[in-house]
């Protein structure tokens, strides 16, 4: 949706409910995974991060209520814990329940603005009103009746920190905000049996069963991937040491399995459960070609020229080491500095296709890009290759952000001014296969 949530800009279906059912069966039958927290997102009426707090009927593009119920029933029959993703902090202008009296207010009386997600610009719901919305008969109670789910995941509840609301009708201190977020957690737990949310807080431990994100972000320790190097520090899992027996925790966001050795070893070494969010679209294992090597193309620093106001023209440069076998699409994500949220994009189909790119430096563009209205701040330009219709990404040469994206520049937007700083992705320094952290080849004798 556009920023005002008045016009659909694009949509895609990554999985139907029937495909989600088959994925669960694949995990059980082919991968022999027994203990799984199977969380489904995007099942609500308009899809992921859309039209909250109105979730039912379920997404017709994915199969609707009947297919959804059938999928939920099968996941549970496999012995998996079924959890459903929802959100009661964000509310969108196009939701049937849009009501400005529900909004959290700033000291000046204006509504508190949230991020721009798939559904457009979100606004923040006052925590007191969020509990009321969740308790409506058409929300959690109706979802439980339809799905029979064992668990519920209400996004962002613990992620944003404690808030204040300056509404005259429903003022809120931070202590009040904590109380109502705990009440929301308790209600979801009462309805479904178990509950979890994003990130995690010490005050939330008695009110939840699992936290998402405290043990890793995109295959790294923290949102700020350079934090440890900047401080010359080592991570200490203090929160886990204190609360290990009280709460289950796992990481969040996808990561590149080809660069995951340290991440995996860290989790295995201290007995953490591993997360993997980068599930490819559709029935991905049936499309597997057996090839996992990187495409011999290295992204290079982009070039930008301003074109007036909030519009700029961007040129992409690629170092082609050998002929590319397939024709890939190029994705360009302009994200927040942490890489967590895509703010706007410049995806495109190269012309000529990548299989016709000559060896050497290849230049694409320039492409004209306009920063969406109201969007300001610092943004990374992250690029890569993907395929249609699977949307699967491929590794390129160089060091990715653990999601097969490569940073080629940084943009700062302030008012009508756009400032660009080029970035050259670092070359991969690790020899051999960076995903290989142990080898057993029956050579030599073990040492005692």
**Per residue in 203-255, pLDDT tens?**
999 999 999 999 998 888 888 777 888 899 988 889 988 998 999 999 998 88
Which pLDDT band, with edges at 50, 70 and 90, does 341 fall under? confident
**Residue 50 near residue 92, CB atoms below 8 Å:** yes
Kindly tell me if the per-residue pLDDT of 269 is higher than 50: yes
Kindly tell me if the per-residue pLDDT of 288 is higher than 70: no
Which pLDDT band, with edges at 50, 70 and 90, does 438 fall under? very low
- DSSP alpha helix (H) spans, 232-387: 238-243, 261-269
**pLDDT for res 105:** 97
Alpha carbon of residue 10 to chain centroid: 18
**pLDDT for res 256:** 76
**Residue 155 near residue 86, CB atoms below 8 Å:** yes
Lowest mean pLDDT among 44-48, 101-105, 148-152, 228-232: 228-232
Q: What is the mean pLDDT of the chain?
A: 89
User: pTM (2 decimals)?
Assistant: 0.79
How much of the chain exceeds pLDDT 70, in percent? Answer: 92
- Residues whose CB falls within 8 Å of the CB of residue 162, separated by 6 or more in sequence, listed in order: 174, 175, 177, 178
Q: How far is CA 252 from CA 11, 198, 222, 264, in A?
A: 24, 8, 10, 14
Q: What is the arithmetic mean of pLDDT over 179-198?
A: 98
> Could you give the domains of the chain?
17-208 (3.20.20.80), 297-422 (2.60.40)
DSSP 8-state symbol, 144: H
Q: What is the arithmetic mean of pLDDT over 10-23?
A: 92
Q: How far is CA 289 from CA 285, 286, 356, in A?
A: 9, 9, 22
Cα separation of 408 and 422, whole Å?
6
**pLDDT for res 205:** 97
Q: What is the arithmetic mean of pLDDT over 138-157?
A: 98
**pLDDT for res 291:** 52
């Amino acid at each position: 949706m556009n920023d005002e949530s008045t016009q659909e800009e694009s949509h895609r279906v990554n999985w139907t409910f029937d495909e989600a059912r088959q994925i669960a069966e694949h995990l059980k039958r082919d991968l022999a995974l027994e203990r799984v927290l199977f969380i489904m997102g995007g099942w609500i009426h308009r899809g992921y991060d859309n039209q909250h707090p109105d979730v039912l009927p379920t997404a017709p593009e994915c199969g609707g209520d009947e297919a959804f119920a059938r999928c939920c029933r099968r996941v549970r029959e496999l012995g998996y814990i079924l959890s459903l993703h929802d959100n009661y902090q964000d509310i969108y202008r196009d939701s049937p329940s849009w009501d400005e009296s529900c909004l959290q207010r700033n000291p000046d009386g204006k509504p508190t603005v949230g991020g721009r997600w798939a559904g457009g610009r979100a606004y923040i719901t006052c925590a007191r009103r969020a509990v009321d919305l969740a308790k409506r008969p058409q929300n959690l109670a109706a979802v439980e009746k339809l799905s029979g789910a064992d668990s519920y995941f209400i996004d962002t509840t613990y992620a944003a920190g404690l808030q204040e609301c300056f509404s005259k009708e429903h003022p809120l201190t931070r202590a009040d905000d904590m109380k109502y977020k705990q009440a929301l957690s308790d209600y979801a737990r009462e309805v479904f049996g178990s509950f979890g949310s994003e990130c995690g807080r010490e005050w939330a431990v008695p009110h939840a069963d699992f936290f998402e994100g405290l043990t890793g972000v995109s295959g790294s320790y923290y949102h700020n991937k350079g934090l440890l190097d900047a401080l010359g520090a080592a991570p200490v899992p203090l929160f886990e040491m204190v609360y290990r027996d009280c709460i289950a925790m796992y990481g969040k966001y996808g990561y590149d399995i080809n660069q995951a050795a340290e991440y995996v070893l860290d989790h295995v070494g201290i007995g953490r459960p591993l997360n993997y969010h980068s599930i490819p679209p559709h029935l991905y294992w049936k499309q597997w070609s057996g090839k996992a090597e990187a495409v011999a193309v290295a992204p290079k620093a982009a070039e930008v020229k301003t074109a007036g106001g909030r519009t700029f023209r961007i040129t992409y440069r690629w170092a082609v080491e050998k002929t590319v076998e397939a024709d890939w699409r190029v994705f360009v994500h302009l994200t927040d500095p942490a890489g967590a949220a895509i703010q706007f994009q410049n995806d495109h189909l190269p012309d000529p296709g990548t299989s016709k790119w000559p060896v050497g430096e290849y230049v694409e563009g320039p492409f004209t890009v306009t920063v969406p209205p109201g969007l300001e701040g610092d943004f990374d330009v992250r690029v890569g290759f993907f395929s249609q219709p699977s949307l699967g990404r491929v590794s390129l040469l160089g060091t990715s952000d653990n999601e097969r994206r490569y940073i080629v520049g940084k943009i700062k937007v302030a008012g009508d001014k756009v400032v660009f700083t080029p970035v050259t992705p670092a070359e991969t320094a690790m020899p051999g296969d960076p995903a290989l952290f142990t080898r057993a080849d029956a050579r030599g004798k073990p040492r005692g």
